């Protein structure tokens, strides 16, 4: 189902050789030039990804368990971790957020592993906070299993993750391909770790017995049944968990050897053609430990490569004026395909010609990253040629629909010299995208129809990320891309997607944002998709959404939303103004037909007033060592969030360009 595309209209913006006369035009030109200055020689863009202190805490755990790592780097990781501690002693999963128990226990443990004494005032504050919030027994499964490996928790008291799950046939309801791609890549090596039960004895003074309420000996370590509902799926899985623990204890594991071989094969296959297993931090870390548990030595090429890919996530910075000591921190993954596709699209929107050699170079780099291998997605999607794009430099098993849609939007704005090559890649990607559409008309990210809610009741599913259901933000981007490719509501897949989006709209007019924080992200993408596919601004879905955006505007003229909106609906659209979220709001208003309302003009002024002299924007809070990037990206709602270093650059540029078209006579 391939349509003929029309040549996109050239935006009425100043070209790269024509100086802009207006304030808005000059701002667009500066932002465009600054974004171009960030392009790498190979043609791509890649900003830093920031997350919470879990990255540094787990880094210390890994090297302690495997007796590896550079001592100086470990100390710098400790300093980075301690830098983000809250005044009450806890650590948060996003700046300004409430303390998180699992993260706080991880950080406390890692600090002690590095030699900080329990009497250290910072640890004393953390200890008090942890005990007030339930102690170690209340942390999540991932944290418990890491503590088990250091003798700080009992394997029998942690939820079982039996490797036998890899043996379930693909037609079976509970097979591993019915959980999200990221959980799959995290849990399979973790199941190996659970089966092998690694153990490293650490000195008592570096342990965390003091974090157990009432002392470790008297702590309640067993899982509790839900006594409110005796007959429930959760209680069924808790009972099953106890049976599995009993089988572990008496060594009734007839399929264990086969399961470990199957898990080992699965891991090794997916270490190929990727930047580490799943190309995401927790899966990569678990894979290193799992390989060692399976008997692979440090000299084995596969272990060395897994180690090397993990090490690439580290960022070393020398001392500078605001940070007098050298620093080391870890990234959760890298985002070159995503950043490049967004940057190309933003630059084209801002007037860079389609045949600009810098765009052509970026398009060439993107085409080199096209997926040509059948990954996990192919288990449920048959008879489709591989196509599409992933997020990182290399992750061949895991292309995703969102990156693919954005790459197609970018390629549509570039005139590549090898037209046939680009057209073939676009054709394959479109066919793959249509095949990945879910039954309800929307799109998830990595898998089709990954929606079995029963998996949320499994005891080890307490990381709240077991599923990959269709989302409004991805579906909105998909509609924008399909419209650019010439599709209309006369095409059945498009109309199904429209119906999904309309059904997902909230009563107040907004849409939930799965991959960005939060309703501002979902709403702007849904609006762009519906407008691109032919909705009139006067139609109720668009006008209600625009009304919600205007009501969410901050008194300073900008927009912002805290990650807390995933926990508390009253915080929807509430938060300190940020460049990226203000840009999303403006893009949403323009898509809804706003030609110059007061909220739009005030939001535009907010962006213009905060543009830095070099052309970019800052999106951080605090000063000196307390400085942290504000989170506007979502990894797993309520669990893990991301600050994209490039969001503050290319989204404001898109917004300025959109406003320049909506306000042709702006100053």
Which residues are the active-site residues? 402
Task: Please compute Rg for the chain using Cα positions.
Answer: 25
171 Cβ neighbours under 8 A, 6+ residues apart: none
241 Cβ neighbours under 8 A, 6+ residues apart: 159, 160, 223, 459
d(CA 207, CA 79): 19
**Residue written as token pair 């996990």:** 376
How far lies 258's CA from each of 169, 176, 264, 328, 625, in Å?
14, 16, 10, 41, 50
Cβ count within 10 A of residue 203: 9
Using DSSP bridges, classify how beta strands 633-636 and 640-644 pair: parallel, antiparallel or unpaired. antiparallel
d(CA 256, CA 271): 22
Which one, of 100, 52, 74, lies nearest residue 628 by Cα? 52
3-state DSSP assignment of residue 329: strand
How far lies 287's CA from each of 60, 138, 159, 302, 559, in Å?
16, 25, 19, 10, 40
Q: DSSP for 237-306?
A: HHHHHHHHHHHHHTT--TTHHHHHHHHHHHHHHHHTTBSSGGGSHHHHHHHHHHHHHTT--TTSHHHHHH
Which one, of 548, 615, 65, 75, lies nearest residue 298 by Cα? 65
The length of the chain, given as a count of residues: 667
329 close to 55: Cβ distance less than 8 angstroms:
yes
Using the Cα atoms of residue 568, residue 574, residue 580 and residue 584 in order, give the sign of their dihedral.
Answer: positive
Helices (H) and strands (E) in the chain, counts: 22, 7
Rounded to 10 deg, the angle between the 101-113 and 121-132 helix axes is 150
425 close to 356: Cβ distance less than 8 angstroms:
no
CA angle, 515 then 636 then 591, to 5°: 15
513 Cβ neighbours under 8 A, 6+ residues apart: 471, 472, 473, 519, 520, 521, 522, 523, 525, 634
CA angle, 496 then 500 then 503, to 5°: 135
d(CA 83, CA 628): 10
């Amino acid at each position: 189902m391939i349509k003929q595309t029309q040549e996109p209209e050239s935006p009425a913006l100043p070209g790269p050789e024509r100086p802009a006369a207006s304030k808005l035009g000059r701002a667009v030109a500066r932002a465009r030039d600054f974004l171009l200055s960030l392009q790498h020689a190979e043609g791509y863009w890649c900003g830093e990804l920031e997350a919470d202190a879990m990255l540094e805490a787990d880094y210390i755990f890994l090297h302690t368990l495997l007796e590896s790592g550079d001592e100086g780097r470990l100390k710098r990781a400790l300093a980075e971790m301690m830098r983000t501690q809250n005044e009450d002693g806890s650590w948060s999963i996003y700046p300004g957020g409430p303390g998180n128990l699992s993260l706080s226990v991880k950080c406390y443990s890692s600090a002690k592993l590095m030699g900080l004494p329990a009497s250290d005032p910072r640890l004393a504050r953390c200890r008090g906070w942890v005990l007030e919030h339930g102690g170690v027994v209340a942390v999540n499964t991932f944290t418990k299993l890491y503590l088990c490996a250091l003798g700080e928790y009992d394997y029998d008291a942690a939820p079982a993750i039996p490797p036998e799950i890899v043996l379930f046939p693909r037609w079976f309801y509970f097979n591993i391909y019915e959980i999200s791609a990221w959980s799959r890549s995290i849990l399979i090596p973790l199941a190996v770790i659970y089966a092998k039960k690694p153990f490293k004895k650490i000195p008592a003074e570096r342990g965390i017995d003091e974090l157990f309420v009432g002392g470790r000996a008297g702590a309640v370590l067993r899982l509790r049944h839900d006594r409110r509902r005796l007959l429930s799926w959760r209680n069924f899985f808790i009972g099953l968990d106890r049976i599995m623990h009993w089988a572990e204890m008496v060594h009734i594991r007839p399929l264990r050897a086969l399961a470990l071989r199957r898990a080992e094969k699965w891991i090794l296959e997916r270490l190929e053609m990727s930047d580490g297993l799943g190309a995401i931090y927790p899966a990569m870390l678990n894979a290193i430990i799992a390989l060692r548990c399976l008997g692979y030595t440090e000299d084995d090429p596969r272990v060395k490569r897994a180690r090397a890919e993990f090490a690439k996530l580290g960022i070393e910075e020398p001392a500078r004026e605001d940070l007098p000591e050298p620093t080391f921190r870890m990234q959760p993954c890298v985002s070159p395909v995503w950043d490049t596709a967004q940057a190309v699209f933003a630059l084209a929107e801002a007037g860079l010609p389609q045949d600009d050699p810098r765009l052509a170079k970026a398009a060439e780099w993107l085409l080199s990253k096209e997926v040509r291998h059948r990954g996990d997605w192919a288990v449920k999607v048959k008879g489709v040629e591989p196509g599409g794009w992933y997020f990182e430099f290399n992750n061949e098993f895991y292309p995703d629909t969102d990156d693919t849609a954005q790459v197609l939007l970018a390629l549509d704005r570039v005139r590549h010299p090898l037209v046939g090559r680009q057209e073939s890649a676009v054709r394959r990607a479109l066919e793959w995208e249509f095949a990945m559409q879910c039954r309800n008309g929307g799109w998830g990210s990595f898998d089709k129809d990954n929606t079995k809610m029963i998996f949320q009741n499994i005891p080890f599913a307490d990381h709240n990320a077991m599923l990959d259901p269709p989302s409004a933000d991805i579906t909105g981007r998909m509609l924008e891309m399909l419209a650019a490719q010439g599709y209309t509501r006369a095409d059945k897949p498009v109309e199904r997607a429209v119906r999904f989006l309309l059904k997902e709209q909230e009563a107040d007019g907004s849409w939930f944002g799965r991959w960005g924080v939060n309703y501002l992200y979902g709403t702007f993408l849904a609006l762009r998709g519906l407008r691109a596919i032919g909705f009139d601004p006067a139609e109720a879905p668009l006008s209600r959404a625009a009304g919600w955006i205007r009501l969410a505007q901050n008194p300073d003229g900008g927009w912002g939303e805290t990650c807390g909106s995933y926990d508390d609906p009253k915080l929807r659209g509430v938060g300190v103004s940020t460049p990226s979220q203000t840009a999303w709001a403006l893009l949403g208003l323009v898509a809804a037909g706003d030609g110059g309302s007061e909220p739009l003009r005030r939001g535009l002024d907010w962006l213009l007033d905060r543009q830095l002299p070099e052309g970019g924007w800052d999106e951080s809070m605090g000063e000196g060592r307390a400085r942290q990037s504000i989170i506007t990206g979502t990894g797993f709602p309520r669990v893990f969030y991301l600050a994209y270093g490039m969001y503050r650059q290319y989204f404001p540029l898109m917004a300025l360009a959109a406003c320049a078209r909506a306000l042709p006579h702006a100053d």
